[in-house]
Structure 1
Amino acid sequence: MLKIPYAKVSCDGNELVYVKEVLESGWLTTAGKAQRFEELFAEKTGAQFACAVNSCTAALHLGLDALGVAPGDKVFVPAMTFTASAEVIRYMGADPICLDVEYGSSLLTPAILKEAIARHPEVKVLIVVHFGGQAAEMLNVRQEGILALCRQNGIRVLEDAAHAFPASLNGQMVGSIGDVTCFSFYANKTITTGEGGMLTTNDEEIYQRVKLMRLHGINRDVWDRFTSDKPSWEYDVVAPGYKYNMPDINAAIGLAQLERAYELRAARQQVAEYYLSALKSCSWVDLPKLHVAAEEHAWHLFPVILNEGSSVSRNVFIEEMARAGIGTSVHYKPIHRLKYYRDTYALRPGDYPNAERIWQGTVSLPIYPGLSSDDLAYVVESIRKIQARKSVNLLTN
């Protein structure tokens, strides 16, 4: 029996070299490596500004603050996302308006958004999630994409791109489309800093606000103050900020990972294409619905949905895969099913039919660089065996 974890980090580049440089520099917190990481990340995404932080959650929080979200405001957020996408709205004292998603892709669509705007014309900010690494339909040739709808209705757009680097849409990189874009470098992402995130924007006013608020609202950069040739201890606090900066050790790992970003993404694509081909004949599995070319997808996740034809429930399937030595995960328990949001906002499953269908059957398969053809064949063979064995049991019982 093979042992195949759900996720595995690839650190085969210059990670040790760059971390050693940081350790030898004597300066371990935010400094030159973080600045360089920001510069190169902005270049990769085509954004004018990038601000490194200690998590994507921090980036989302800072983004909402910079967009002026205030207590009592309402913010659109899709139901199929990690809790961070909703919790940052509550950080601001605002209220989430949960939206259903498209079955198969878990993405917000222009049609769903258009209907939501008609029902909630007071909403002024949208958090759109590029689920699994695939960009939502932000742009289209008819000017009826998510971004155009928001512009027409005075809605600012914050892109939750925790899954979506490097990803693109119609040749434009995610990170340079909406007002603010937030990325994650958690350990299972396409590139990692261990823990960390990045916020990108083309709006200098937003950038300056984010840069100020990420470190206590101090009006001078710490690295600049301590590296100046002149006495420069003086600073002031001009806003009640947060402690969200990225240390140089994390940025050093990120720089090494960034050098290999497209190589790591391509390796994930190979895994995804194997699954798409090998599982397409399995009628009891609904494969991810794709709206972009494989090369534009970041392939952070490969979620399948066990449909009504499956001989096992999602939970039993996960247990059987674990017995076969294969790690899986679930992305996600939707927002409307989480106790806090369900009870606070009286959310009902029937209001989110697509998210409910996804939730009942979704399971994410292993997808990361380093999975061999033997590994992938074993995963697919195990899936087929589980279904076949349970089907036989059903017939004989």
Structure 2
Amino acid sequence: MKPIPYGRQHISEDDIQAVVETLTSDFLTQGPKVAEFEEAFAAYVGARYAVAVSNGTAALHLCTMALGVNKGSRVITTPITFVASANCVRYCGGEVEFSDIDPATALLDAEKVRQLVESKPKGYYSGIIPVDFAGNPVNLEEFRKLADEHGLWIIEDAAHSPGGYFIDSKGEKQRCGNGRYADLAIFSFHPVKHIATGEGGMVTTNDVELYKKLLLYRTHGITRETELLEENHGGWYMEMQELGYNYRIPDMLCALGLSQLERADAGLARRRGIARVYDQAFAEVSGIQVLQTNPAALQEDHTGHAYHLYVIRVEDRKGLYDYLREHQIYAQVHYIPAHTMPYYRSLGYSKGDFPLAESYYSECLSLPMYPSLTQQEQEFVIGKVKEFVQK
């Protein structure tokens, strides 16, 4: 059997044709496909505005800039995430404070965040960055209530969860990134994500003022909008009004994103089907613990989980990791707790600070999860996992 990675992109003939058409058009970048992709993606998640950028990290950085993060800002996030969720605060000079996870879901624990916020004077913290880890949606309604009580903003890191949702207290479906409870949300289009553009990211929001800032900061802080100019020397004139970045995304990648978006729901359905097979296979196996779906993301027999990853916990994680690799199954670990990285240790964090996150890390393993995973391949993976654990 050929090697089985933990995740991979699927590029169709329609995807290829969409890119070729853009390559032979008048615009490779700063053309019409960017706005088309933004409009389509905003509609997909149910947000008013979307801004496409060069990658998910750029999306996070733009969010912290737009919200005014600076040297006086303190922002709370989870240690179980890719480091960009925390680094974006540091880019703007702010301080990052981690809070521990709910071990059942590996999501940022809202009650622990509340305890942390209420242990300090009002105004001590600026905002919260919850992460929809593995595609499992955070209950943002809980975080919004806390944020409103203490004057905090929320950035939803939804890089893992386009198409995911949770059910709020009114019984309404809240899609990840729809802007109902978070000020801003970000997505990633890295190849292993649901929508692949090679590199790329998106910010969504319902706030028009934040939207305008994102557009400005994405392109060097430069505007050509006539009504915003302090002077106007002619049709060529532009002004750099803020210190921004070149975080643009090319049209050809947006063309690919548009094509991939057309089958996003089919890919999501396939991911959920793969997850059900894993759930059934491991349900009665002693020694394998499957991460639970956030209860707010469960509705009857349907789940709002977007399943970017399928994570299990086993006692001998290193042994299982090596055993699977011997059989060309390339499972992965998500994530090394951010606070244990040398950079964050240099800022005062230590191993042992967040025991639930560290316990999770010692046991977690992400199994192959992508729409083109075949039934035969999945059965092979399941068989090797059971074979190792039951030894």
* TM-score of the two chains, using structure 1 as the length reference: 0.90
Answer with 212-221 or 375-384: which moved more: 212-221
Alignment partner of 1:368 is 2:365: no
The residue that corresponds to 1:4 in the other structure is 4
8 Å CA contact 1:133–1:163 kept in 2: the answer is yes
Alignment partner of 1:157 is 2:165: no
The residue that corresponds to 1:85 in the other structure is 85
Answer with 293-302 or 34-43: which moved more: 293-302
Alignment partner of 1:207 is 2:211: yes
Gaps in structure 1 of 5+ consecutive residues: 140-144, 222-230, 308-312, 392-397
Alignment partner of 1:330 is 2:338: no
1:12 and 1:281 map into 2 onto residues whose CA distance is 37
Quote how far apart the aligned CAs of 1:13 are.
5.5
2:262 to 256, 259, 262: 259
Alignment partner of 1:305 is 2:307: no
1:268 and 1:246 map into 2 onto residues whose CA distance is 27
8 Å CA contact 2:127–2:152 kept in 1: the answer is yes
Which aligned runs of 4 or more in structure 1 are off by greater than 6 angstroms? Answer: none
1:245 to 248, 253, 257: 248
Quote how far apart the aligned CAs of 1:138 are.
1.1
Counterparts of residues 180-259 of structure 1 (less than 5 Å) = 180-220=184-224, 232-259=235-262
Quote how far apart the aligned CAs of 1:349 are.
3.0
Q: Deviations over 1:35-55 (max 9, x none)?
A: 000001111111111000011
8 Å CA contact 1:191–1:264 kept in 2: the answer is no
Counterpart amino acid of residue 143 in structure 2: I
8 Å CA contact 2:216–2:223 kept in 1: the answer is yes
1:333 and 1:33 map into 2 onto residues whose CA distance is 37
Counterpart amino acid of residue 118 in structure 1: E
Counterparts of residues 264-343 of structure 1 (less than 5 Å) = 264-291=267-294, 292-293=297-298, 294-307=302-315, 313-343=316-346
Quote how far apart the aligned CAs of 1:246 are.
0.9
Quote how far apart the aligned CAs of 1:262 are.
0.4
Q: Secondary structure at the match of 1:262?
A: helix
The residue that corresponds to 1:226 in the other structure is none
The residue that corresponds to 2:229 in the other structure is none
Q: Deviations over 1:5-28 (max 9, x none)?
A: 222211226212221221111310
1:383 and 1:87 map into 2 onto residues whose CA distance is 34
Q: Deviations over 1:330-353 (max 9, x none)?
A: 1000011101101212x2333212
1:286 and 1:213 map into 2 onto residues whose CA distance is 44
1:290 and 1:248 map into 2 onto residues whose CA distance is 36
Q: Deviations over 1:37-86 (max 9, x none)?
A: 00011111111110000111111111011111111311101111101011
Q: Deviations over 1:298-341 (max 9, x none)?
A: 1101011114xxxxx21221111000111111100001110110
The residue that corresponds to 2:46 in the other structure is 46
Quote how far apart the aligned CAs of 1:105 are.
1.3
Q: Secondary structure at the match of 1:200?
A: strand
Aligned length: 369
Q: Secondary structure at the match of 2:156?
A: strand
1:120 and 1:46 map into 2 onto residues whose CA distance is 35
2:359 and 2:327 map into 1 onto residues whose CA distance is 26
Counterpart amino acid of residue 146 in structure 1: F
Q: Deviations over 1:118-156 (max 9, x none)?
A: 1244001111111010111112xxxxx111111111000
Quote how far apart the aligned CAs of 1:175 are.
1.0
Counterpart amino acid of residue 85 in structure 1: S
* TM-score of the two chains, using structure 2 as the length reference: 0.92
1:106 and 1:266 map into 2 onto residues whose CA distance is 23
Q: Secondary structure at the match of 1:357?
A: helix
Q: Deviations over 1:254-290 (max 9, x none)?
A: 0001101100111111111110110111121110111
2:200 and 2:52 map into 1 onto residues whose CA distance is 8
Quote how far apart the aligned CAs of 1:387 are.
2.3
8 Å CA contact 2:99–2:109 kept in 1: the answer is no
1:99 and 1:55 map into 2 onto residues whose CA distance is 26
The residue that corresponds to 2:230 in the other structure is none
Counterparts of residues 63-142 of structure 1 (less than 5 Å) = 63-121=63-121, 122-139=124-141
Counterpart amino acid of residue 242 in structure 2: A
The alignment-based identity, stated in percent, is 35
Q: Secondary structure at the match of 1:344?
A: coil
Quote how far apart the aligned CAs of 1:100 are.
0.5
1:380 and 1:98 map into 2 onto residues whose CA distance is 34
The residue that corresponds to 2:170 in the other structure is none
